[in-house]
Amino acid sequence: MSRSSRRHFAKLVVVWSAATPVAAVLRDPTAATGVAALHTDVVKREFGQHLTEADLAALAKQLQERAAQIETLRRFKLQNSDEPDVTFSAGTRRW
Amino acid sequence: MVNAYAPIDELGRALRAKEVSSVELAKFYLDRLEKFGARLGAVVTLTRERALREAEAADRDLAAGNTQNRPLLGIPYGVKDLLATKGIPTTWGAEPFRNQVFDYDAAVVEKLTNGGAVLVAKLAMVELAGGFGYNNADASFTGPGRTPWNTGFWSGGSSSGPAAAVAAGLVPFAIGSETSGSIITPAAFSGVTGLRPTYGAVSRFGAMALSWTMDKIGPMARSAADCNTIYGVLVGEDERDPTTARVFPSGRASWVSNLVLARAANKRFAKIGIVKGTWENAQPAVRAAFFTSVEVLRKLGHTVTEIDYPDLPHGPTTSLIIRAEGASAFEDILRDGRAKQLREVADRTGGYASSAILAIDYIRAMRVRAKIREALLKLFEQVDIVAAPARSTVAYPIGPNFDEVYKDVKSGPSVIGSMNLLGAPAVAMPNGFGDNDLPASIQLNSAPASEPMLMNVAIHYQQSTYHHTKTPPGFS
């Protein structure tokens, strides 16, 4: 990711955080459209040279479906102590 | 005269009795692959030169009596085209990698070669093992894989070629891979037996990576006994794949031979849980076949009870992990635009969509995965085996998108996805026929590192049934 696109991404995240907090998405399903649209914009900035308008429309639909999956996961209650299902090993590999 | 559908032990006996040579066997299956492979969209590359070289070496070993502990000596096989083979294209089923050639063999190919097996073909697969979210059977640069039971229908994915080739008797066995369903589904749609081993039981060195935390490699064959024989050759630690370290606890066997498993005295009586919600809305013939299988299992002495599956977000968790890891695994073709060369429309943009998954969401999915693992391990304290229809429908038709067909069918809890999250082994076995003369199948899942028990139950089941011995018409 280039420096300029990093800056752009940071701006998008700020806008997204302010405009569509998770709680708002949960309250209003149409708000997910905004998240998907925002992610589509991120992808367009990053990979736009390879994507036509038709591709972007298809991609927006895929991101909309993904947003629903992500919301399902975000609704799942986790505690601070719930670790990811991966174990980091500090150089004590068997080999 | 060779029987194209002969089980491995029968082929091995014929080779050792010198009723047939390995070179003759290799030529026989190469001819069948040439004759029927294209009709099924099953073959990417015939490896004739290598096959004949390996078959000649096998014949020399057979003549010299170097046969001990080599059950696959002289027996032809094919591999899904995501396994590296030295000097032979390894295409990953995808146009951008059509001319890719590695200068080494994948670990499983090495093991099979050392065991004297004879590689006759690189077999077709869904492009990039389906990691970009394909929605249509026509998702490989070789075209759709077709089930030999009815070639208007899909052979399943992503191990489409291995399944179709085994089902039509084009190879005695094949090697497939599964990230989430890529052995179980094609085994079901093509009416063959497939074994998905425990995560880490079989080395993935030299295999295309889609999802580092979920990819597994396993055999597809005509019976559970054949799968067990092949698995016995493949299983084991490999320092080139750290996930293979310490998979089987000390003192627990990773594999037990068919001879030992098949003895009546060694028959295990398992507690089998059948998952509520997986059959109620399945296709009627699939449901009927499933309950016929359940009755067979009961009659064999197993205890069968209905179980509630943990109510957790199995599907979204599986999907998010595979998509995020897949986008990273194939970041190069996203960045240089080669992803646009993929065959299936959804695949051309799916990887780009996955690139937008936030780190926090991927990590959340991995945290939820730990909860799912915990719940499923608890379930395996109550039952030895979790059973369900392998798929709630028979094979999808070739042509329409997946989401346009079988709309009235609901599959219930995602057993395939969740068991893959756990890294648990499973076997899929044909158990009857459904709509359009297409095969139905049952899946048996067991706790990680419990293959000997799982295969014990599967082998005894097939000793009491005949579905796995059926052959499709039109491929004699």
Residues 6+ apart with CB under 8 A from B232: B71, B255, B257
Residue B268, both tokens: 């295990």
Interface list for chain B against chain A, based on CB atoms closer than 8 Å: 133, 213, 239, 242, 245-246, 312-313, 315-317, 319-320, 323, 334-335, 337, 339-340, 345-346, 348-350, 352-357, 361, 363-371, 373, 421
**pLDDT value at position A94?**
53
**pLDDT value at position B476?**
86
Q: Are strands B118-123 and B43-46 parallel, antiparallel or unpaired?
A: antiparallel
Q: Give the Cα separation of B15 and B172 in Å (integer).
A: 14
Cβ–Cβ below 8 Å for B239 and A95: yes
A6 in contact with chain B, both atoms CB, cutoff 8 A: no
Report whether pLDDT(A3) > 70: no
End-to-end Cα distance, chain A: 35
Q: Give the Cα separation of B421 and B438 in Å (integer).
A: 29
**pLDDT value at position A15?**
42
Per-residue pLDDT tens over the stretch A13-40: 444 443 343 334 334 433 447 788 899 9
Residues in chain A with CB shorter than 8 Å from the CB of B361 are: 70, 73-74
- Nearest residue to B287 via CA among B444, B395, B415, B442: B442
**pLDDT value at position B91?**
98
Dihedral sign from CA coordinates of B104, B338, B47, B68: positive
Distance from CA of B208 to the nearest CA of A (A): 21
If one counts every other C-beta atom within 10 angstroms of the C-beta of residue B371, the result is: 18
Which among B317, B353, B368 is the nearest to A66, CB-wise? B353
B143: left (phi over 0), alpha (psi -120 to 50) or beta: left
Residues of B with catalytic annotation? 80, 158, 182
What residue ranges in B102-169 does DSSP mark as E strands?
Answer: 118-123
- Nearest residue to B234 via CA among B76, B72, B112: B112
Per-residue pLDDT tens over the stretch B46-72: 999 999 999 999 999 999 999 999 999
A67 in contact with chain B, both atoms CB, cutoff 8 A: no
Per-residue pLDDT tens over the stretch B62-119: 999 999 999 999 999 999 999 999 999 999 999 999 999 999 999 999 999 999 999 9
Mean pLDDT computed over every residue of chain B: 97
**pLDDT value at position A16?**
43
Q: Give the Cα separation of B220 and B47 in Å (integer).
A: 19
Q: Give the Cα separation of B309 and B208 in Å (integer).
A: 32
Q: Give the Cα separation of B451 and B228 in Å (integer).
A: 9
Per-residue pLDDT tens over the stretch B376-401: 999 999 999 999 999 999 999 999 99
Q: In the A/B pair of chains, how many CB contacts fall below 8 A?
A: 101
**pLDDT value at position B383?**
98
What residue ranges in B116-198 does DSSP mark as E strands?
Answer: 118-123, 173-178, 193-196
Report whether pLDDT(B452) > 50: yes
Percent of chain B with pLDDT over 70: 100
Residues 6+ apart with CB under 8 A from B141: B91, B93, B94, B95, B98, B127, B343
CA–CA distance from B115 to each of B147, B240, B466 (Å)? 30, 19, 29
**pLDDT value at position B395?**
98
Residue A90 pLDDT level (bands cut at 50, 70, 90): confident
Report whether pLDDT(B130) > 50: yes
**pLDDT value at position A73?**
95
* Residue type present at position B43: V
Residues in chain B with CB shorter than 8 Å from the CB of A58 are: 345-346, 348-349
Residue A58, both tokens: 């298809």
Residue A1, both tokens: 């990711």
Strand order in the sheet with B426-433: B43-46, B118-123, B76-80, B173-178, B216-221, B193-196, B426-433, B439-446, B385-389, B271-275, B303-307
**pLDDT value at position B173?**
98
Question: Omega into B158 within 30° of 0, i.e. cis?
Answer: yes
- Nearest residue to B82 via CA among B211, B210, B230: B210
pTM: 0.93
Contact B349, A62 (CB under 8 A): yes
Per-residue pLDDT tens over the stretch B251-310: 889 999 999 988 888 888 999 999 999 999 999 999 999 999 999 999 999 999 999 999
Cβ–Cβ below 8 Å for B353 and A70: no
**pLDDT value at position B263?**
86
Per-residue pLDDT tens over the stretch A47-87: 999 999 999 999 999 999 999 999 999 999 999 999 998 87
Nearest CA in chain B to A9: B356
**pLDDT value at position A17?**
41
Phi, psi angles (nearest 5°) of residue B274:
-100, 135
